[in-house]
């Protein structure tokens, strides 16, 4: 039995793509919440009754958690080699189309797509301590 089970690359790529296409933009949005959006108390001569509201604390906590997670994503990406990191950055950080990526890199879409999939796999290993997006094949089915 192997020390590390065999990675299901297709399912892992699918998980990491979902992370970058759906979860990552939400993390970016939460990490960039402007403090101006957090309501300051209204100064008024009239006393008012307010319920206990933790929305400001929740916003600050979500913002801090998102910034921390974003830093971990960036740290995980820093472990990728330059070519893979570059195509990942163009596709998911800068949200460029495959045609724009082809124009910038000089490589055809097939090459860029393959590099991106390889980068997603590399990222899955680098990010595993934060969130495990890897999917392993069931080794018992093969026995």
Give residue-wise pLDDT tens across range 61-97: 888 888 999 889 999 999 999 999 999 999 999 999 9
**Cα–Cα dist 119/137, whole Å:** 20
pLDDT for 54: 62
| Contact partners, residue 78, CB within 8 Å, separation at least 6 | 85
Going by C-beta distance under 8 Å and a sequence separation of 6 or more, which residues neighbour residue 51? none
* pLDDT tens track for 3-29: 778 999 999 999 999 999 999 988 888
pTM for the whole structure: 0.77
CA distance 88 to 80: 10
Please give the pLDDT value at position 20.
96
Which domains, from first to last, does the chain contain? Answer: 9-37+57-127 (1.10.10.10)
CB-CB contact of 98 with 109 (8 Å): yes
């Amino acid at each position: 039995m192997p020390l590390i089970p065999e990675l299901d690359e297709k399912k892992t790529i699918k998980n990491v793509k979902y992370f970058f296409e759906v979860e990552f933009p939400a993390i970016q949005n939460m990490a960039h919440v402007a403090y101006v959006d957090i309501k300051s108390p209204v100064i008024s001569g009239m006393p008012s009754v307010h319920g206990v509201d933790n929305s400001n604390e929740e916003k600050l906590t979500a913002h801090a958690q998102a910034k921390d997670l974003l830093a971990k994503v960036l740290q995980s990406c820093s472990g990728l080699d330059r070519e893979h990191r570059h195509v990942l950055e163009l596709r998911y950080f800068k949200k460029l189309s495959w045609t724009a990526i082809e124009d910038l890199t000089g490589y055809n879409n097939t090459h860029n797509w393959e590099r991106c999939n390889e980068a997603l796999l590399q990222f899955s290993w680098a990010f595993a301590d934060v969130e495990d997006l890897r999917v392993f094949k069931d080794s018992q089915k093969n026995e």
